[in-house]
Amino acid sequence: MSAVRTLAIRPDPGGVVPETAMVMAAGLGKRMRPLTATRPKPLVEVAGKPLLDHALDRLRGAGIRRAVVNVHYLADSVEAHLGRRDQGLEIVFSDGDDARMDALLLMVPLARAHCHAGRGDFHLDANGRITGRRRPGRLAPFVWTGVQMLSPRLIADWPEGPFSTNIFWDRAIAAGRAHGITHQGLWFDVGTPGAIAKAEAILADG
């Protein structure tokens, strides 16, 4: 049995904080219907607060100064919401489509992925290096939370037109330069209306 070393995220007073983050907010939210029939998934509320605001508040708290928000489905609603919000961040919109929406980095163990109905996404070695994706019909012990950090070097030669960012991460995994960090706190997969209700019940219990 192999052991995976837990890597926790903690502020480093002497570390360099990235100035720019990207928030993926372009998806159709199909699993969230009917809640997303008339509003985009980023504006669906959990514990009385839109998912997008949860993400932006976390980024601001981490010292991020600029957030690129990619939009597509009901983009006007997202842009209007952010226009009314006191950001504390510089917001830049990227109007793209959901074919650009795959990546990885921050992981949560499958066993602690509340409300997650999937079979996991990735495998990590004992040093936190990502060794591969889940194979069809198998389980993978870690779920990608949707949070990532990218080196500009990794995406310096992106192709023209729409593309999947999987090509960059496949390259990094093959080179042994992709790592996963294990999130130690609560994490919820709020991809369906039922999952939102479960998440709010857990949060209400403290």
Q: Are 138 and 63 in a shared domain?
A: no
- In the predicted model, what is the mean pLDDT of the chain? 80
Name 130's Cβ contacts closer than 8 Å, sequence gap at least 6.
104, 122, 123, 124, 169, 172, 173, 178, 179, 180
Q: Are 84 and 107 in a shared domain?
A: no
- Residue 50's pLDDT is 92
Share of the chain above pLDDT 90, in %: 12
H or E element, residue 69: strand 66-71
Q: Are 68 and 159 in a shared domain?
A: no
Whether 174 is in a domain gets the answer yes
DSSP symbols for 97-129: -GGG-----EEEEGGG-BT--S---EEE-TTSB
What span, in angstroms and rounded, lies between the C-alpha atoms of 112 and 24? 23
Question: Buried (b) or exposed (e) across 25-51, using 16+ Cβ within 10 A?
Answer: bbbebebbeebbeebbbbbbebeeebb
- With beta carbons less than 8 A apart as the criterion, state whether 52 and 23 touch: yes
Compute CA distances 206 → 33, 47, 184, 201, whole Å.
Answer: 27, 12, 16, 9
Domain end, chosen from 64, 95, 126, is at 95
Q: In this structure, are strands 106-109 and 181-182 parallel, antiparallel, or unpaired?
A: parallel
- Residue 103's pLDDT is 42
Q: What mean pLDDT do residues 158-177 have? A: 81
Backbone angles phi, psi at 67, to 5 degrees: -120, 125
Q: What mean pLDDT do residues 95-122 have? A: 71
Compute CA distances 187 → 13, 15, 113, 147, 168, whole Å.
Answer: 25, 25, 6, 12, 26
Q: Are 135 and 74 in a shared domain?
A: no
Q: Are 162 and 147 in a shared domain?
A: yes
Whether 23 is in a domain gets the answer yes
Residue 13: band (very low, low, confident or very high) from pLDDT cuts 50, 70, 90: low
- Residue 100's pLDDT is 32
- Position with higher pLDDT, 206 vs 148: 148
Q: Are 102 and 88 in a shared domain?
A: no
DSSP 8-state code for residue 89: S
H or E element, residue 21: strand 20-25
Model confidence at 6: pLDDT above 50? no
Q: Are 19 and 88 in a shared domain?
A: yes
Q: Are 39 and 69 in a shared domain?
A: yes
Residue 12: band (very low, low, confident or very high) from pLDDT cuts 50, 70, 90: low
Whether 8 is in a domain gets the answer no
Domain containing residue 137: 97-205
Domain end, chosen from 71, 95, 119, is at 95
Give the number of domains in the chain.
2
Whether 69 is in a domain gets the answer yes
Q: Are 150 and 164 in a shared domain?
A: yes
User: What CATH number has the domain bearing residue 197?
Assistant: 3.90.550.10
Whether 4 is in a domain gets the answer no
Q: Are 132 and 170 in a shared domain?
A: yes
Residue-wise pLDDT for 39-94, tens only, equals 999 999 999 999 999 989 988 888 888 888 888 888 889 889 988 887 788 888 87
Whether 186 is in a domain gets the answer yes
Residue 25: band (very low, low, confident or very high) from pLDDT cuts 50, 70, 90: confident
Q: Are 106 and 165 in a shared domain?
A: yes
Domain end, chosen from 49, 65, 95, is at 95
Model confidence at 178: pLDDT above 50? yes
